[in-house]
Amino acid sequence: MDAREVLIVKPTRSDHVDPDYMESERRLEKWYSLNPSDVIVATGFIASTPQNIPTTLKRDGSDFSAAIMGALFKARQVTIWTDVDGVYSADPRKGSFCSFTIHTVIIILFCCVLHLTASV
């Protein structure tokens, strides 16, 4: 899911945005009716303004977008894995069977995230 199609935020300061949950929920329902799925992979850190101008969710926006999506999907829980050594395929605290890192990561993606000042 391209979050810019669903998440709508109102810039309030240069370093802060407020989610428009009602509009985002309306857009999510429309998006989901056109793209039904049991598993949804969504972009993080980005959204759109009410004028459909792409914007970021500012510092720590990836965590923020996960929390917003959790609220929109009425999730019972949102789990965010941070402060780990590398990119993991599962929660490394669950045991050695899932504590391996994904070795092939597109460096350009990380450069883009770092350029946008997201904490990684």
- Report CA torsion sign: 48, 54, 56, 61: positive
- pLDDT of 104 reads 45
Query: What is d(CA 23, CA 57) in angstroms, rounded to the nearest whole number?
Result: 16
Query: What are the two backbone dihedrals, phi and then psi, of residue 107, each rounded to the nearest 5 degrees?
Result: -60, -35
* Superfamily name and number for 3-80: Acetylglutamate kinase-like (3.40.1160.10)
Q: Which residues of the chain have pLDDT under 70?
A: 81-120
With CA atoms as reference, report the closest residue to 62 among 113, 27, 106.
Answer: 113
Rounded (10°) angle between helices 21-34 and 61-72: 70
**Domain ranges across the chain:** 3-80, 85-120
- pLDDT of 48 reads 95
